[in-house]
Amino acid sequence: MNKLFIYTFAILLLQGCSNETKLTEEDAILFLDEMEEFSTEEGPIASSAYWISSNFITYDSQKVVADYSKRYSLLSVENARRAAEFDDVDVTKDTRRKLNFVKSGFVMPSPLDEGLATEIANLKAELSAMYGSGRHCFEDGTCYDLEGFEQIIDNSRNPEDLLMAWSGWREIGKPMKEKYLRMVEIGEMGSKDLGFEGLSDLWFSKYDMSSDEFLSDVDRVWEEVKPLYDALHCHVRGELNEFYGDEVVKNDGMIPAHILGNMWAQSWSNIYDLVYEPSSVDASINLTQIIQEENLSEVDMVRVAEDFFVSLGFERLADTFWERSLFVKPRDRDVTCHASAWNLDSEEDLRIKMCIQKNEEDFVTIHHELGHIFYYQAYNHLPSIYESGANDGFHEAVGDLLSLSITPAYLKELGYINEEQYLDAISDPISLLMKQALEGIVVIPWTLILDKWRSQVFSGDVEADQLNNLWWELRESYQGVKAPIARDYDAFDPGAKYHIPGNTPYTRYYLARIMQYQFHESLCNDIGFDGPLHECTIYNNPEAGEKLKSMLALGSSVPWQDAFEELTGVRELSGESIINYYSPLKEWLDEKNEGRQCGW
């Protein structure tokens, strides 16, 4: 790491000189050039350290990644301070954009203090490892990790088993609480040292508009979509009441979180069979069954997703992707199984990390993760500072966009269903739309909750002993979902969701869920699709691929509104495309809910 220290010294030297001479744009460009060189040389080493820490969860791997995290945190803070010295220098828009990125390129920054940098780096590594290696054992000696608990939540219809799995996984959150609060405390100090009001101000500073304007936009679009979610909630609650009875779920209030078929109740697709009965057996496509019948391996499933992008005109993935990715959970070690895509060296070292299960959910997730990979591929020609999505929601939106094209027409093109099965499937549009909505609509209020909770934690507006109560207040308000049992005084249920201990901002997923439908509708219009929006697939359409690639290639080199306009022709978020997509389902839900007491 000698280059790291040499580079730090050079930055400090420049900083000292700047106090005596007036800085110019040439100085700023020199500074940015040196950062680019450093990122190219040292970035892949750090990326490899993080890859190892996620794929080999051991004491030593966590020590290594904590050390790298500390070093890069200190250097990044110093870089940000240096960039701030150019605030009053007259520079081009491009140079100003790059300097602003240097200042705001943090999630949980440390102050420029080696002791605090070491502490927060250790806390980050510890929290990540606690989640990735999390398991809970019961009095009878049976132990489960997340995958074991999820198998029960996803498939069981026994309320007692579901409650056991739901509450068991949340035991892993309890030891995280104090560590998490200390990490936030240091992160608040670090963000203020960088000139921000706090972590929330830092997090929402990256959207090419004021934080207030951005958050107002977020709430506006949610109000446009909420009537559809409310109608879906009302129907699902009524059907679950019929199946489980009043003892488990009442027909006039909130839904207990453990019976919704997902560990976090962020998707309800696993209870599809309880809330909708297709007009005929053949009208519903069982993709999990198809995967089994086609005898697809985990790698085969990834190659199918790669073929989707190739059909749009993208280049095939390099051999290194197939050699270095993780597709199957190892039997001999702990790994963080949360699916993720990795861009390790800004060239050809692109990978995914995923413990693939041979089911429909993971088939869709693979398409999503490859959306990230091909986004990386599209903008890897840019300076490293621009190698990201136009905003942090774009990456997720591109992955989610592909899920909307996994239609009966796409499955017929793959040879997974025949013409008769295709006609049966499209004859019952509610079957497809219900399955889509139980994931795509259900998740929208969930995507708002995490950062709303964190904002109050970051600001100190909530006492430590009220953190869990706030979590459930938000979930009840936005989702109409409640904890199935009273929570322990020391519960820290947010810690049971990867993105909390992993410090992954979540508003990006909200943006993605809105933008994906706008992207989809725009591309379907561009290719001249004439039919219900939910039947459109962009598979095997180079015209759609060319337009998509054009937007992806911009990375973050322009304001996100410019990239958004490149693909959609408009500059604002809107819920209208979602409403258009699900309009047949909304009409059907309104009929089914007549006479029901909706709301909670």
The Cβ-side half-sphere exposure at 532, using a 13 Å CA radius, reads 19
Nearest to 312 by CA among 378, 397, 364: 378
Residue 17, pLDDT > 80, answer: no
Average pLDDT, the chain: 90
* pLDDT above 60: residue 16: no
Token match 């993971």: residue?
362
Q: Is the pLDDT of residue 4 over 60?
A: no
The reported pLDDT for the residue numbered 445 is: 97
Which residues have a Cβ under 8 Å from the Cβ of 357 and sit 6 or more positions away? none
List pLDDT tens digits, range 86-99. Answer: 988 999 999 999 99
Query: Does 19 or 229 have the greater pLDDT score?
Result: 229
Residue 451, pLDDT > 90, answer yes
The pLDDT confidence band at residue 105, using thresholds 50, 70 and 90, is confident
CB atoms closer than 10 angstroms to residue 579: 15
Q: Is the pLDDT of residue 8 over 50?
A: no
Q: What pLDDT band is residue 282 in, cutting at 50, 70 and 90? A: low
Residue type, 482: K
Q: Is the pLDDT of residue 11 over 50?
A: no
> Residue 165: which H helix or E strand, with range?
helix 159-169
pTM for this model (two decimals): 0.85
Over the range 310-325, which residues count as b (16 or more CB within 10 Å of their CB) and which as e?
A: bbbebeebeeebeebb
For the chain, the first-to-last Cα distance in angstroms comes to 57
- pLDDT > 70? residue 346: no
Q: Is 295 left (phi over 0), alpha (psi -120 to 50) or beta?
A: left
What percentage of the chain exceeds 70 in pLDDT? 95
DSSP label at 206? -
pLDDT of 210 reads: 81
pLDDT reading at 272 higher than 90: yes
Higher pLDDT, residue 35 or 325: 325
Query: Cα–Cα distances in Å, from 306 out to 302, 502, 545?
Result: 6, 28, 13
- Residue-wise pLDDT tens digits, 61-84: 888 888 877 787 788 888 888 888
Distance between CA atoms of 451 and 330, rounded to whole angstroms? 33
Q: Taking the CB of residue 546, how many other CB atoms lie within 10 A of it? A: 12
Tokens (6 digits) for 235? 């129907």
For residue 20, what pLDDT is reported?
Answer: 53
Per-residue confidence (pLDDT) for residue 7, from 0 to 100: 43
Q: What DSSP letter does each residue of 117-141 carry, written as one string? A: HHHHHHHHHHHHHHHHT-EEE-TTS
Is residue 474's pLDDT more than 80?
A: yes
Asked if residue 9 has pLDDT above 60, the reply is no
d(CA 549, CA 544): 9
Q: Of the ranges 24-28, 107-111, 205-209, 457-461, which one carries the lowest mean pLDDT score?
A: 205-209
| Separation between Cα atoms, residue 207 and residue 564, nearest integer Å | 12
Tell me the C-alpha distance between 390 and 373, whole Å. 15
When pLDDT is averaged across residues 122-132 and rounded to a whole number, the result is 92
d(CA 199, CA 201): 5
Residue 14 has pLDDT above 60, yes or no: no
Which of 552, 451, 421 lies closest to 218, judged by CA?
451
Q: What is the pLDDT of residue 302?
A: 97
**DSSP conformation letters of 326-375:** B-S--SSS----S-EEEE-SSSS-EEEE----SSHHHHHHHHHHHHHHHH
* 424 pLDDT more than 70: yes
Tokens of 357: 């299960």
248: alpha, beta or left? (left if phi > 0; alpha if psi -120 to 50): alpha
Share of the chain above pLDDT 90, in %: 70
Which residues are catalytic, by number?
369, 499
Q: Which residue type occupies 337?
A: C
Provide CB contacts within 8 A for 38, sequence distance 6+: 3, 4, 7
On the question of pLDDT at 10 being above 70, the answer is no
